Amino acid sequence: MIDMWGEEKIRAFRATLLDWYDEAGRADLPWRENQDPYRVWVSEIMLQQTQVQTVIPYFNRFMTMFPTLNDLAAAPEQDLLKAWEGLGYYSRVRNMQKAAIQVRDDYNGVWPDTMTELENLTGIGPYTAAAIASISFKEPVPAIDGNAFRVFARLFKIDADIAQPKTRKVFFDLGLQLIDPERPGDFNQAIMDLGSSYMSAKNYDSEHSPVKQFNAAYADGTEDFYPVKSKAPKPRPITYFAVAVHSPAGYLWEQRPTTGLLANFWTMPLYALTDFVTDPDAEWSEDEMIAATEKRLLADYGVVAELTKMAGRPVTHVYTHQKWTVTVLTAEVEAMPLQRGTWRDFDALTRDPQPKIQEKVWKRLN
């Protein structure tokens, strides 16, 4: 049950928040130069799961490569993946291109201007739709992301579990009452800035927050308890082998299938332990697994190689539902015809779009 403020207090909160935003908001962010929906959309998709300072150079490069929605719609996928390389969650950029094509073909190149219509576009959920609708089209709808969950939960001491999908409506309905109808985009961006500064998850500074007088959790010292969020399941551990086979013609290199994790990216051969071990109770020694990898290389690529394990700890990388532990195996061989994949010299292969796990393998090799 939320102890809702009266209209006078709501107006006071809006004024306090927006006065602070006008004075201290992050106006230097490149996507805030204007309210163009294309720029707002690109930035919001990039900012999912990614820090602001990391996004800035990616955003600037992306806008240079694909300055308009039509440029994005027409771009080769390999160019998109290369532009996105390092940001992770690559389905985001693939969905962006699908949405760009929708706007171009289904809406005659004109952006839908309401949250409801924007949610019809591929890859645009409630938060992104609300952000675009409020910032670009002045629709008074709250953009509920992690920052908004945290800010509103502390302001009102909301104990609903934000990991539960049904909780979003609680916060959305609250935001509908709080949002400034004249400046909805600025209101949402002010909440974002507040949630990443004075009301951040860690090292917050409520004592100097511009809205501390409205913060119920600050008043009784319970901010650490908000927002309430149950723990997500731990990512499932998977053991992999990355095979760095080098010849005078270059490295053994191939493009992954068009579906599945890391679709269409270029990598060295990657084998999961489950590719060899079908019995979960079987105990394989390291030498046996390396020998099995050598047999798979011969069967899959036609490459005869004596593999050596690199010294040091394996490379690790965490995806949403999986944690990869990758042992790097190396070999020097003669150049030979391949049944699959290609030989590619290092300078050439760096131009291919590669996933983060492959970048980590290169760092280990170098």
Judged on CB neighbours under 10 Å (0-12, 13-18, 19+), 241 is buried
- What number of other Cβ atoms are within 10 A of residue 23's Cβ? 8
- List, for residues 298-337, the tens digit of each pLDDT value: 999 999 999 999 988 899 999 888 999 999 999 999 989 9
Mean pLDDT of 82-87: 89
The token pair at 20 is: 């602070």
The token pair at 332 is: 């020097």
Distances (CA, A) of 183 to 136, 139, 186, 230: 11, 9, 5, 34
Mean pLDDT of 157-174: 95
pLDDT at 1 over 80: no
- List, for residues 139-151, the tens digit of each pLDDT value: 999 999 999 999 9
- List, for residues 43-78, the tens digit of each pLDDT value: 999 998 888 999 999 999 999 999 999 999 999 998
* pLDDT level of residue 278 (50, 70, 90 thresholds): low
The structure's pTM equals: 0.81
The answer to whether residues 140 and 154 touch, using CB atoms and an 8 Å cutoff, is no
- Rounded distance, CA 249 to CA 300, Å? 19
Q: What angle do CA 338, 342, 344 make, to 5 degrees?
A: 135
Q: Where are the domains of the chain?
A: 7-225, 236-363
- Rounded distance, CA 222 to CA 217, Å? 5
Mean pLDDT of 159-185: 96
pLDDT at 282 over 80: no
Active-site residue set: 44
Q: Could you tell me which CATH number the domain at 7-225 has? A: 1.10.340.30
Overall CATH class of domain 236-363: alpha beta
pLDDT at 274 over 90: no
Peptide linkage before 67 cis (omega within 30 of 0): no
* pLDDT level of residue 281 (50, 70, 90 thresholds): low
Q: What angle do CA 41, 47, 82 make, to 5 degrees?
A: 85
